[in-house]
Structure 1
Amino acid sequence: MGRQKHNNKNAGKKRGRGGAGQNRAETEAFLKKNRQKTDVIETSSGLQYAVREEGTGKQPDEWSTVEVNQRILLVDGTVIKDTYHSVETDRFTIEEAIPGLKEGLQMMKEGGKTRFVVPPDLAWGKRGAGDKIGPYAALIFDIRLEKVIH
């Protein structure tokens, strides 16, 4: 007659990231509703996007470095990052981006603005990232491709 251990894995953890089950349910509901919008296109990978402004400049490839303005949100509207109200843009290589942005950015041209809804399996998946992006969280990126640096 052994004693059962009480194991609460979430004891002491922040709730800001949301639990896996809660995030998964919110994500699935949001993706389902979003794909029904008339301006939203969904790729075979599950990436959803809506072009806000067509670009006319260079188009990046998998080896490009890009300079972007971006607003990153959770599906509940929580802002993770916003460079639109900053003096500096973000610069990174396509290679180091999450899979959803690797795919999406290569469809854009300089000067274009697109909203990407990135499902968890094309973002940080079941592990989340930091203290703001929980497990199974979809992310919304409002991106303006400012410059392609090859």
Structure 2
Amino acid sequence: MARNKPRKTAKGSTGKNKNLSQDYMAKYGNKAGVLETNSGLMYRIIDDAEGASPTEFDKVKLHQRIWLADGSVIDDTYKSGFAEEFSVSEAIEGLQEGLQMMPLGARYEFVIPAELAWGRKGNGSKIGPNAVMIMDVRLLEIR
């Protein structure tokens, strides 16, 4: 007799994530030093720097800590010690926008609304539908 494997579902329900995300963004927007772009991307400069910023055609190397509004950590290269490398154009829309604002050596915190991240579908079991993503990013290299 065949067994049915349990189906992996994305973290959180659509409605719960949407409400949690909206609450998180409203509170975050009231913090000192928080800026917001026309697209809805919110950010705060942790460590500023002067220098070149990447374009959508560049590759970047960075440290990042990614978590959700419920506090669950998705990835933390600061902790692992292994920086991420990828093309800016491969990143989710909100991170693409944020990276292109960052000068080399800077550290920013981004709050990326669901529509600039994984949207209504989410991304597998780690990021549910309508989930806001929070990212702490330090830009190490531009190639």
The TM-score with structure 1 as length reference comes to 0.88
In structure 1, list runs of 5 or more residues that go unmatched. Answer: 1-11
Taking the aligned partners of 1:62 and 1:92, their CA distance within structure 2 comes to 11
Q: Does 1:31 align with 2:25?
A: yes
**CA 1:16–1:126: 2 relative to 1, 3 Å:** closer
Q: 1:44 aligns with which of 13, 32, 38?
A: 38
4+ residue runs over 4 A deviation: 12-16
The CA distance in 1 between the partners of 2:131 and 2:111, in whole Å, is 11
1:86 paired to 2:97: no
Deviations 1:93-121 (A, max 9, x none): 11111000110000001110000000000
The one-letter code of the counterpart of 1:22 is K
What's the offset of the Cα at 1:90? 0.2
Instruction: Give the counterpart letter for 1:85 in structure 2.
Output: K
Counterpart amino acid of residue 51 in structure 1:
I
| Cα-Cα RMSD | 1.3
Amino acid at match of 2:131: A
Alignment correspondent of 1:20:
14
Aligned to 1:97: 91
Letter in 1 for 2:70: D
Partner of 2:113: 119
Deviations 1:77-103, CA, capped at 9 Å, x for gaps: 110000002232100111111000110
In the alignment, is residue 72 of structure 1 matched against residue 66 of structure 2?
Answer: yes
Aligned amino acid, residue 118 of structure 1: I
State how many pairs are aligned: 138
Q: 1:14 deviation in Å?
A: 5.3
Determine what percentage of the aligned residue pairs are the same residue: 43
Larger radius of gyration: 1
Counterpart AA for 1:75: A
